[in-house]
Amino acid sequence: MGNKFLTSVCCISMLQLPLAITNSASAEWESSANVGVFSEYRFRGAKQTEDAPAIQGGFDLSHPSGLYLGNWNSNVEFGNTSIEMDLYAGYGFNIGDISIDVGDLYYYYPDNSGQTPNINTNEIYAIASYGPFSAGYHYFTTEWFGVGDDSGSTYMQVNFEYPVSESVTISAHAGSSKIEGVNGFDYEDYSISLGFDMGDGYALGLDFIDNSGDGAVGPAFASGAVVSFSKSF
């Protein structure tokens, strides 16, 4: 999700645990959880913690039908705003060898309530995966984190992931943000990542990140690297 689904530095790997929820179809849901420490928080290339470390984690519920819902959280540094809580729900299914994921993601900043601008934001998304490749389209139904004057901003991304060995995975990402209502604020973000599976749900990550385009100006868009240590349950 990323994160934040299929974004550069919010990748979440989870060990699913059974959680029985009885309904008329006696279907079984599964739960999973994750927590990690990151040298900084980057969202689609942009710094979110002003170079400070971030503690991130969340939980998910998934159903055999393909339905899922979850919550993901991180500390942030936006003036007086210090907490981000993401709430999402969606549906995953297959068309032949192609996996499709569609859903809704709401970015909620509890200590921003009542402030201007309102940075709480909602997006809908569709992500298709085929083998090691994936591509996603994200459409914002609200203003883009309080920037712009209307809905309609978009984010598009392509990703590649390749397991070098049983414990090492390399991945590459490219994304493009187009912000409605603000001239010259569009930008692109790129990353190359290494993931190390340490076993028992523990993992190390190393992400190299860069940005380009008219909107990629200022220290928030400087190139850099993020180191992470995470645990999935």
In a domain, 70, yes or no: yes
Strand stretches in 45-184, DSSP E: 46-47, 54-62, 67-78, 81-95, 98-108, 121-130, 133-140, 154-163, 168-178
Residue-wise pLDDT tens digits, 88-131: 999 999 999 999 999 999 999 998 877 788 899 999 999 999 99
In a domain, 123, yes or no: yes
In a domain, 145, yes or no: yes
* CA separation for the pair 154, 62 (Å, rounded): 27
Pairing relationship of beta strands 54-62 and 154-163 according to DSSP bridges? unpaired
47's tokens: 């710094």
Inter-CA distances, 97 with 93, 104, 129, 133, 185, Å: 10, 24, 9, 12, 37
In a domain, 139, yes or no: yes
| Closest C-alpha to 9, from 175, 226, 230 | 226
In a domain, 8, yes or no: no
**Do 133 and 160 form a contact (C-beta atoms < 8 A)?**
yes
| Closest C-alpha to 43, from 226, 203, 229, 232 | 226
Whole-number pLDDT of residue 108: 97
Q: Which residue has the higher pLDDT, 202 or 185?
A: 202
Residue-wise pLDDT tens digits, 161-196: 999 999 999 999 999 999 998 877 899 999 999 999
Number of separate domains in the chain: 1
CATH number at residue 62: 2.40.160.160
27's tokens: 């279907």
In a domain, 7, yes or no: no
Residue-wise pLDDT tens digits, 47-80: 999 999 999 999 999 999 999 999 999 999 988 8
Handedness of CA 154, 101, 86, 23 (dihedral sign): positive
In a domain, 10, yes or no: no
**Do 127 and 155 form a contact (C-beta atoms < 8 A)?**
no
Whole-number pLDDT of residue 7: 44
- Segments forming the whole domain that contains residue 161: 17-232
Looking up tokens 């990151």 gives 38
In a domain, 2, yes or no: no
